[in-house]
Amino acid sequence: MIHFDKKNQIFHLSNNKISYVMQIEEGGNLAHIYFGKKITHYSGHYRYPRLDRSFSPNPAGSNDRLFSLDTLMMEFPGNGFGDFREAAYDIQLPNGSHVAHFIYQSHEISQGKPALAGLPQTHGAPQEIETLQIILRDEVAALELVLNYSIFTDTSAIIRSSALKNDGLEPIVIHQLASQSLDFPNRPLDLIQLNGAWAKERQISREPVQTGIKKLDSKRGSSSHQQNPFVILADPATTEFSGECYGVSLLYSGNHETIIEKDPYDQTRLIMGINSYRFAWTVPPQKSFQSPEVVTVYSNQGLNQMSQTYHRFYNSHLIRGQYQLTERPTLINNWEATYFDFDEEKLEQIVDEAKVLGIELFVLDDGWFGARENDLTSLGDWYENKGKLASGLRGFAEKVHQKGLKFGLWLEPEMISEASELYRQHPEWALKVPGRSPALSRSQFVLDFSREDVRKHIFDQLALLFNEVPIDYIKWDMNRNMTDVYSLLLDPTQQGEVFHRYILGLYDFLERLTAAHPTILFEGCSGGGGRFDAGFLYYMPQIWTSDNTDAVARLKIQYGTSLSYPASSMGSHVSAVPNHQTQRITDLAIRGNVAMSGVLGYELDLTTMTDEEKAAIKEQVAFYKKHRQLFQYGTFIRLLSPFVGNDTAWMYVSEDKQEAIVFYFRVLAEASAPLITLKLAGLAADTLYQMGKNKIGGDELMQIGFYIDPALSGDYATQMVHLTAINND
């Protein structure tokens, strides 16, 4: 899959779908040539033209006025020695200079993919992966830059990361080391990105890439509600079903940045990695720094194909452990049912109702520990609030098990309340600058997870808890962003490392915790989907998509999330009406259909529901359980976008195309409304499908489509269509 043409100094990475081409240019500069649909044999003809561009310098040691790094398509650009565009790295050398120019030294091609210590990473069997490591050097600075590229046999993706080694005698400081840079020749491109806020995560915005520089980032210490570490560059004509696009997804849960620059010659550069904001990482002599991975997916059949590539790839080659490709349980969570106001009797009633309705897992949310009766106290005191549950936490968990449900528990281990035993004992364990009072958020501080002693203390507390209580599921929450970022154990010159050290500490913790408890299903959460990123999915196969459980708001949130993340990863609950976030009143039908579109759960007080409502829920749960392989792992296809109009639709098709489920959602009713024709996709053209009482060919359903039921009435209406193939044999 990886070929080096020695004569022309060309690297060509390819499988049956894609090609990625680089060339070692004059002076050992590594140039980017092409990334896109597979090229059988690249001739070498697309070398960057020689042209004298005024005010574009020529590389040191050359007076060739026709060659400049300022215009060349670069593979991993630097700045300060001829390229004036945005750079992929910024390194401060012992003499204070920031000039580091890396030239090709050697390379290595190997089978499989070397492990990245301490970071989330994609994985697979060695025989399905090849890896290229290109080693570049700056001889003057005694620095080695390693660019890693892996390609899988059957996936339209290139997985990249970079590492910097200090071969000198004195420490150097990295202010930026991107995971990847990708240059495009002059062509119009659209930027598609996922931004938002709490309860409004991953909203899609699309705009033409304009001349100049655009930066999308998070400085919050987490990947954030506000800007997901995932972007797309697409041809302006690209739709869900046609056209070229490139998805770029960072496997990292902390501060990230994506820089998009369109230069004066209309070439576009996209750089993605850890945020350079306040980043200063000292690398001592003979030590290295490793960047997180980026997964870049190419599609020539629109956004759906790109998303499906991510979904399959992340399900099989990112998510790990017992729950990889495994059907996830339906759950009932008590948060919106009771908030902090619960006792055992109340919870038991909910569990009993859940059992009757066929729900498989009960999750006890916030409020069971320390002296926690509201959100003002006790984070850090991870032991039972004695007396809150009559049988005790363990007794209650056992009771849930006896009733035939699994037992899950909420935790927020990275946090500390001012009003907690832990804070009384260790006020210095919170992130804070000496002499300053740190900012509160939700009345809590952030524990300094860069510190090993802090992590050990929390780990030990959790070990006792997990030892005592039979736990099947953990919801790992994080309810504020980081301020006052300073670690007391580090000296002043190392304070620019704290953001990243925190994430490395967290990853270390999660690695050990998940390894120690392989049977526990972990669901990530950060006030909903504030840390919904590919890095977190490596440790936790599910993430709570949003605190917004309103079915209508969820259409956009889940549609946006699906651009990169699989349905199997999206926690999605039916909640009560009026909805607690929007006050909207919707039918159980639409709430059910939206929640079934991810990993189905319920988050409402089942004890107050009517018999009719309970019967409807029972039916939803049974239907979901019967078809959850399809919902969680089928091919997900977006049909109509909630960002475009009143109508949303998506569908799931089984791998063998024998079955499909389609959901249609209409937000507002309209008098004398136009009819809606829904055309399906992904079916077998030559197969006949049973659709209700009708038998319809796959090609007809895809070419002509069908009318959405004109009798659908009222606001927030929904229709589900179930298709099963009719086999002649």
Q: Which stretch binds ligand DGJ (CB under 6 A): 111-119, 238-246, 294-302, 524-532?
A: 524-532
Q: Which residue is listed with tokens 């999330």?
A: 561
Residue 525 marked as a ligand binder:
yes
- Could you say which of 138, 448, 472, 477 is catalytic? 477
Please name every residue paired with 576 in a beta bridge, in sequence order, or none if there are none. Answer: none
Q: Which stretch binds ligand DGJ (CB under 6 A): 170-178, 228-236, 459-467, 523-531?
A: 523-531
Residue 720 marked as a ligand binder:
no
Site for ligand DGJ in 547-566 (CB under 6 A): 547
Residue 198 marked as a ligand binder:
yes
Is 547 known to be catalytic? yes
The yes or no reply on residue 229 touching ligand DGJ (CB under 6 A) is: no
- Could you say which of 547, 587, 699, 709 is catalytic? 547
Report the residue number, 160 or 388, with the smaller CB distance to ligand DGJ.
388
The yes or no reply on residue 223 touching ligand DGJ (CB under 6 A) is: no
Closest CA to 363 of 385, 333, 400: 333
Of these, 201, 366, 533, 550, which contacts ligand DGJ (CB under 6 A)?
A: 366
Residue 140 is which amino acid?
A: V
Beta carbons of 448 and 465 less than 8 angstroms apart: no
In the complex, least distance from residue 597 CB atom to ligand DGJ, rounded to whole angstroms:
18
Residue 467 marked as a ligand binder:
no
Report the residue number, 71 or 558, with the smaller CB distance to ligand DGJ.
558
Report the residue number, 141 or 411, with the smaller CB distance to ligand DGJ.
411
- CA 393, chain centre distance (Å): 33
Report H helices in 608-712: 611-633, 698-703
Q: Which residue is listed with tokens 């007076």?
A: 63
Binding mask 251-270 for ligand DGJ (x = CB under 6 A): --------------------
Report the residue number, 293 or 365, with the smaller CB distance to ligand DGJ.
365
**DSSP states of 566-618 as a string?**
-GGGEEEEEE-SS-TTT-----HHHHHHHHHTSEEEEES-GGGS-HHHHHHHH
Is 52 known to be catalytic? no
Report the residue number, 321 or 408, with the smaller CB distance to ligand DGJ.
408
In the complex, least distance from residue 220 CB atom to ligand DGJ, rounded to whole angstroms:
16
Of these, 527, 541, 592, 598, which contacts ligand DGJ (CB under 6 A)?
A: 527
The yes or no reply on residue 365 touching ligand DGJ (CB under 6 A) is: yes
Q: What CA–CA distance (Å, rounded) separates 631 from 593?
A: 11
In the complex, least distance from residue 561 CB atom to ligand DGJ, rounded to whole angstroms:
15
Residue 245 marked as a ligand binder:
no
Of these, 42, 382, 544, 663, which contacts ligand DGJ (CB under 6 A)?
A: 544
3-class SS shares of the chain: helix, strand, coil, % to 5? 20, 35, 45
Site for ligand DGJ in 327-346 (CB under 6 A): 335
In the complex, least distance from residue 333 CB atom to ligand DGJ, rounded to whole angstroms:
7
Buried b (16+ CB within 10 A) or exposed e, 378-406: bbbbbebbeebbeebbbebbebbeeeebb
Beta carbons of 340 and 374 less than 8 angstroms apart: yes
What angle, rounded to 10 degrees, do the helices at 588-596 and 551-561 form?
Answer: 10
The yes or no reply on residue 368 touching ligand DGJ (CB under 6 A) is: no
Q: What CA–CA distance (Å, rounded) separates 234 from 445?
A: 41
Q: Which residue is nearest to ligand DGJ (CB)?
A: 366
The yes or no reply on residue 528 touching ligand DGJ (CB under 6 A) is: yes
* Total of chain residues touching ligand DGJ, rule CB under 6 A: 11
Sign of the Cα torsion 507, 508, 509, 514 reads positive
Q: Which residue is listed with tokens 């001349």?
A: 211
Closest CA to 558 of 491, 648, 493, 497: 648
Report the residue number, 376 or 589, with the smaller CB distance to ligand DGJ.
376
In the complex, least distance from residue 120 CB atom to ligand DGJ, rounded to whole angstroms:
22
Of these, 479, 481, 545, 586, which contacts ligand DGJ (CB under 6 A)?
A: 479
Q: Which residue is listed with tokens 């959405």?
A: 708
Q: What CA–CA distance (Å, rounded) separates 157 from 153?
A: 10
Report the residue number, 42 or 198, with the smaller CB distance to ligand DGJ.
198
In the complex, least distance from residue 335 CB atom to ligand DGJ, rounded to whole angstroms:
5
Beta carbons of 350 and 343 less than 8 angstroms apart: no
In the complex, least distance from residue 469 CB atom to ligand DGJ, rounded to whole angstroms:
18
In the complex, least distance from residue 520 CB atom to ligand DGJ, rounded to whole angstroms:
17
Q: What CA–CA distance (Å, rounded) separates 441 from 144?
A: 42
Q: Which stretch binds ligand DGJ (CB under 6 A): 59-67, 221-229, 520-528, 610-618?
A: 520-528
Of these, 477, 523, 550, 659, which contacts ligand DGJ (CB under 6 A)?
A: 477
Strand pairing of 659-666 and 647-653?
A: antiparallel
Residue 475 marked as a ligand binder:
yes
Q: What CA–CA distance (Å, rounded) separates 157 from 246?
A: 9
In the complex, least distance from residue 254 CB atom to ligand DGJ, rounded to whole angstroms:
19
CA dihedral 461, 463, 469, 471 (to 10 degrees): 120
Residue 195 marked as a ligand binder:
no
Q: What CA–CA distance (Å, rounded) separates 360 from 624?
A: 12
Q: What CA–CA distance (Å, rounded) separates 397 from 403?
A: 10
Residue 5 marked as a ligand binder:
no
Residue 650 marked as a ligand binder:
no
Sign of the Cα torsion 55, 56, 61, 62 reads negative
In the complex, least distance from residue 437 CB atom to ligand DGJ, rounded to whole angstroms:
24
Report the residue number, 442 or 512, with the smaller CB distance to ligand DGJ.
442
CA dihedral 535, 536, 541, 546 (to 10 degrees): -120
How crowded is residue 210: how many other Cβ atoms within 10 Å of its Cβ? 10
Beta carbons of 426 and 405 less than 8 angstroms apart: no
In the complex, least distance from residue 355 CB atom to ligand DGJ, rounded to whole angstroms:
22
Beta carbons of 192 and 232 less than 8 angstroms apart: yes
Binding mask 387-426 for ligand DGJ (x = CB under 6 A): -----------------------x----------------
Residue 547 marked as a ligand binder:
yes
What distances in angstroms separate CA 569 from CA 119, 312, 525, 554, 597, one per listed residue?
Answer: 20, 12, 11, 15, 11
Report the residue number, 310 or 522, with the smaller CB distance to ligand DGJ.
522
Q: What CA–CA distance (Å, rounded) separates 314 from 299?
A: 16
Residue 83 marked as a ligand binder:
no
The yes or no reply on residue 659 touching ligand DGJ (CB under 6 A) is: no
Site for ligand DGJ in 610-649 (CB under 6 A): none
Peptide bond into 578 cis (omega under 30): yes
Structure tokens at 69: 């790094």
In the complex, least distance from residue 552 CB atom to ligand DGJ, rounded to whole angstroms:
19
Closest CA to 444 of 398, 478, 472: 478
Q: What CA–CA distance (Å, rounded) separates 635 from 629?
A: 10
The yes or no reply on residue 525 touching ligand DGJ (CB under 6 A) is: yes
**DSSP states of 138-195 as a string?**
ETTTTEEEEEEEEEETT-SEEEEEEEEEE-SSS-EEEEEEEEEEEEE-S---EEEEEE
Site for ligand DGJ in 63-122 (CB under 6 A): none
- Residue set of the binding site for substrate: 198, 365-366, 442, 475-479, 525, 547
Q: Which residues bind ligand DGJ (CB under 6 A)?
A: 335, 365-366, 410, 477, 479, 525, 527-528, 544, 547
Catalytic residue numbers?
477, 547
Annotated binding site: 198, 365-366, 442, 475-479, 525, 547
